[in-house]
Structure 1
Amino acid sequence: MTASGTAQVKRWAKATVNAGPEPVKKGGTLTVTGGLKRADWVKHSYTGVAAASVKLQFRKKGTSSYTTVKTVKSSSTGALKTTVKASADGYWRWNFGGWSTTGTAVTAGDHVDVR
């Protein structure tokens, strides 16, 4: 006798980040961009994820944990873009929590020097 079951398969997701300008003056405007893509099994490539809620997170230099600054919706092509005020040296990253059909994606932190 054999048992049958189901398995849920999630698409692999990946994100990118870029924060600038570098260096930026304290209190100046910092633009954080990037993108969110997921595996497209039909096209055998990665395609942009539209309308995804993605958290912008910051970690101050010398600390170990990130805090969420704001949540941004990805564009129709998966692009991410927002502006923030620069307050301290640190690392910026995007954090996508995933969906039932798409895995999570967290970028490495992009360091910004604030002067």
Structure 2
Amino acid sequence: MKIFGENKHFSPHTIRAYRSDDKTLLNFLMDHSLFFRDIGFSEVKAYNRFITDKYAVKSARRKLDFFRRLLDFGYKSHLSTWITNPGSKKGQYVIEETRQNEDLNRLPRRELSQVDA
């Protein structure tokens, strides 16, 4: 099993993103004085929590997917099963004129009835 499929070609943006993901993981390990061989259940969950708290959903999913593939490739263990992706928020962004400098709010999706449509 390879970490990436055979004859797989990546765009420069993807390569740059994977390098960023690698740096994020290595910095996390260094900040916690860990080596790859030290990674166990608690380290996987701590990294998962760190990524989910720090990054937007799309970036967090990519970083966690990178980590999952690395664990599956390098350890051939089941540690990657403990990685959980953050849920995406459903709804539409609503920007109120009075709240331009604050975070965007999401409202639930609005379904139109046959009559309204």
Q: Is TM-score (shorter-chain normalized) higher than 0.5?
A: no
Scaled by the length of structure 2, the TM-score of the pair is 0.23
Scaled by the length of structure 1, the TM-score of the pair is 0.24
Query: Which structure features the higher share of helix residues?
Result: 2
Query: Which structure features the higher share of strand residues?
Result: 1
